[in-house]
Amino acid sequence: MLLANHLTDRQREVLRLLSEDSTLSVTKMSEVLGVSDVTVRNDLNRLAAKGHIIRTRGGGLPAFHPSIVERQKQNVREKARIARAAADCIADGDNIMIIAGTTTALIAQHLLGKQDVHVVTNSTLLFPPARINPSVRITLVGGEFRPSAEALVGPVTLRDLEQFHVKTAFLGADGFSVDQGLTAHLVEIAEIVRRMARQAEQTVLVADASKYGRAGFAHILPLGAVDRIITDTRLADHARRELEDLDITVARV
């Protein structure tokens, strides 16, 4: 199961069409895309082989919740650069935590070549890229599965996280700003981000620049609790200065 930045533009479009209407036939998709039925069937077979869809007679069903599919299609290049920069912060032998998210999950793809890295996570998206890397150990905490976040959440998750102390926690957010701090759309996710931050020596927020100035429903942490932010080059200079005034190291990649 590879993530959306490993797909061709046409395969992403097939995935988008299926996420909007899983009953679409091969013939209808071929008409919309302007390609042959054979081409669409080949794309469906490749998407199924990569774990993005479940192949059905005459079409396919998205393997992920629609909200995950939609988020994977957004800011694809920026998220890939952010994840690569985050992985560059990880050294051989590090113990780290990675929160569930479509950007944070990509970090595991860039750990090839690292030695003896131990990752504690609540993310089910992180498994596929980590599975091919024998030098990375994964501890998946327990909890209740939320398909819309591809995450394990709840009291069991919080309790399990208390058992670990790590060098770095890689955090995500649905929004971040100087006034509101880090925020999330789900209270359950906000609780887990706070707990991971508490169990780590240092915290790194990985978030694309479109999330700056946005506020989710649930408050997570004040921005001053974050040591480093890795975002993309779309973050404006004045925003970078505001963040650095809080003694936060900001990397725009």
Per-domain residue ranges for the chain?
Answer: 4-71, 74-252
Same fold, 4-71 and 74-252: no
**pLDDT score of 2:** 40
φ/ψ (deg, to 5) at 224: -65, -15
Q: pLDDT tens digits for 5-58?
A: 578 889 989 988 887 787 899 999 999 999 999 999 999 999 888 777 888 888
- DSSP letters spanning 55-120: EETTEEEESS-HHHHHHHTSSHHHHHHHHHHHHHT--TT-EEEE-SSTTGGGGGGG-TT--SEEEE
**pLDDT score of 22:** 78
Whether pLDDT at 61 is above 90: no
Please state which architecture CATH assigns to domain 4-71. Orthogonal Bundle (1.10)
Largest CA distance in the chain: 57
Which residues make Cβ contacts (< 8 Å) with residue 209, sequence separation at least 6?
78, 231, 232, 233, 234, 235, 239, 252
**pLDDT score of 39:** 96
Q: pLDDT band for position 1 (50/70/90)? A: very low
Q: pLDDT tens digits for 43-52?
A: 999 988 877 7
**pLDDT score of 56:** 86
φ/ψ (deg, to 5) at 117: -90, 130
- What pTM was estimated for this model as a whole? 0.79
And the tokens for 36? 């042959």
Average pLDDT, the chain: 91
Angle between helices 37-49 and 9-20 (to 10 degrees): 90
Q: pLDDT tens digits for 92-146?
A: 999 999 999 999 999 998 998 899 999 999 999 888 777 778 889 999 999 999 9
**pLDDT score of 69:** 67
What is 74-252's CATH topology?
Rossmann fold (3.40.50)
**Mean pLDDT across the stretch 143-167?**
96
Q: Which amino acid would we find at residue 23?
A: T
